[in-house]
Amino acid sequence: MSNTSYNPYEIAQQQFDSVASKLDLDAATCELLRQPMREYHFTIPVKMDDGSTKIFKGFRVQHNDARGPAKGGIRFHPMETVDTIRALSLWMTWKCSVVDIPLGGAKGGVICDPRNLTEREQERLCRGYVRQLAKNVGPNSDVPAPDVMTNAKHMLWMLDEYETIHGSRYPGFITGKPVGMGGSLGRTEATGFGVIYVLNEALKNLNIPIENTTASFQGFGNVSQYAVRLYQQLGGKVVAISCWNETDKKAYTFRKLDGMDINALVSITDSYGTIDKEKAMGLGYEVLPGDAWIEQDVDILIPAAMENQITIENVNKISKQVKVITEAANGPTTPDADKVIADRNIFLIPDFLANAGGVTCSYFEQVQSNQNYYWEKDEVLEKLNTKMTSAFKSVYELSQSKGLRMREAAYVIAINRVAQAVKSRGWI
């Protein structure tokens, strides 16, 4: 899944090392925290509908569980790599820590393309994934969730397999379940809404009224669709959105300078976040090259697709008008591009803070599942807003008082909390 010239795991470790070197951490703590504590690599034989058997490669990586059970999504992607999963597991630890929820970090993935698998094949793959891991995950040890190209249906198959193996009901084993089957109201919206809660807070601090702003998004999947929705509700204008087109094997940017009708756009988008090119043109959209999203004269850029998307090759295409970048995706900015953004004084809200709404709501789902008592949607979203806003404020205050960039300040808070947990447990 990663761009070949950037290894997300090396980037995640570099980010950790650069902050850890400024903190008063001993060598053992640094060594423990810069790599995952446990990894599972396995094969998953799946009976295909045509009677053949295909072998898929799966991973689960648990980075650190000192603050609580590990937590992290499972991705299905044809270009998945274990190093991407490792990086994401580290970022999950920092994410749970920066929003101060009592969970650690993990991530999982399967090298596969669900777009080329039937429903039944996907179900067998989900069940096979859980069979390989059933002893090493669970509501008190490691709680999976959906991520790129996995959804509520996959989570329910995984839960059913886990409960079949363990002979009881464990609704807290997995999050992102369908509402009515242990899922939390608000979970679908949570990551995208969380991105906008922190963006809104940033704009208030920068004295920029959100209703005067324009934005360009990369990606139009779960995160982006709800971020666009809330951003527009608050008065912002979205002028460009890019997404991947699997048939053409390239990305396109869809632009409408007078703003977009989100409902109309969603109605011509498939479940993988691909906007129908012909129908978009019919609705008056300009269809531009994939990278055009980054070149727009807007106030806000929101990368909400994949890692390694803002690189040294395209960072200088960012318009002078851009004031804020909110990293909705995990790891969208490479370290060299990050330096250019810092030098240009663009206010950047780092990924593990900006997109923490998903895991925060997953935590709420787990709490509700373990109690078997479910909250109203308004209650969930209000609690989410409180958590995200408070995390943003802590990071912002530290960045202001110590003269740190937001990414550094977020790392300082997150790493310190995990290091403290490791120490308090007597591991080091």
Binding residues (CB under 6 A) for ligand NAD: these are 147-149, 191, 218-224, 242-244, 251, 273-274, 290, 304-306, 328-330, 355, 358
Taking 3-state DSSP, the helix, strand and coil percentages for the chain, each rounded to the nearest 5, stand at 45, 20, 35
At its nearest, how many Å lie between ligand NAD and the CB of residue 362? 8
- The C-alpha atoms of residue 415 and residue 420 are separated, in whole angstroms, by 8
Question: How many helices (H) and strands (E) are present in the chain, helices listed first?
Answer: 14, 12
**Among candidates 158, 218, 220, 151, which has minimal Cα distance to 187?**
151
At its nearest, how many Å lie between ligand NAD and the CB of residue 89? 12
Residue closer to ligand NAD by CB (options 29, 274) is 274
At its nearest, how many Å lie between ligand NAD and the CB of residue 426? 32
Residue closer to ligand NAD by CB (options 137, 148) is 148
Residue nearest to ligand NAD (CB): 221
At its nearest, how many Å lie between ligand NAD and the CB of residue 396? 20
Torsion sign, CA atoms 177, 183, 187, 189: positive
The answer to whether the CB of 274 falls within 8 A of the CB of 246 is yes
At its nearest, how many Å lie between ligand NAD and the CB of residue 94? 13
DSSP conformation class of 184: P
The answer to whether the CB of 348 falls within 8 A of the CB of 328 is no
Residue closer to ligand NAD by CB (options 114, 171) is 114
Residue closer to ligand NAD by CB (options 243, 412) is 243
Long-range interactions of 317-322: CB distance < 8 A, separation 24+:
317/291, 318/294, 318/344, 318/346, 319/295, 321/297, 322/298, 322/346
- The C-alpha atoms of residue 108 and residue 91 are separated, in whole angstroms, by 13
- The C-alpha atoms of residue 362 and residue 383 are separated, in whole angstroms, by 12
At its nearest, how many Å lie between ligand NAD and the CB of residue 351? 7
The answer to whether the CB of 6 falls within 8 A of the CB of 308 is yes
At its nearest, how many Å lie between ligand NAD and the CB of residue 178? 15
User: For residue 332, how far is the Cα from the chain centroid?
Assistant: 10
**Among candidates 46, 135, 133, 38, which has minimal Cα distance to 82?**
38
Concatenated DSSP letters of 186-204: THHHHHHHHHHHHHHHHHH
**Among candidates 142, 138, 141, 159, which has minimal Cα distance to 150?**
159
Residue closer to ligand NAD by CB (options 64, 330) is 330
Pairing assessment for the beta strands 214-218 and 300-303 based on DSSP bridges: parallel
At its nearest, how many Å lie between ligand NAD and the CB of residue 330? 4
**Torsion angle (degrees, nearest 10) of CA 181, 183, 185, 191:** -150
The answer to whether the CB of 322 falls within 8 A of the CB of 346 is yes
Residue closer to ligand NAD by CB (options 202, 354) is 354
Residue closer to ligand NAD by CB (options 77, 237) is 77
Residue closer to ligand NAD by CB (options 230, 422) is 230
At its nearest, how many Å lie between ligand NAD and the CB of residue 273? 2
**Among candidates 356, 365, 328, 149, which has minimal Cα distance to 225?**
328
Residue closer to ligand NAD by CB (options 58, 176) is 176
Residue 24 makes CB contacts below 8 A (sequence gap 6+) with none
Q: Give the catalytic positions in this structure.
A: 107
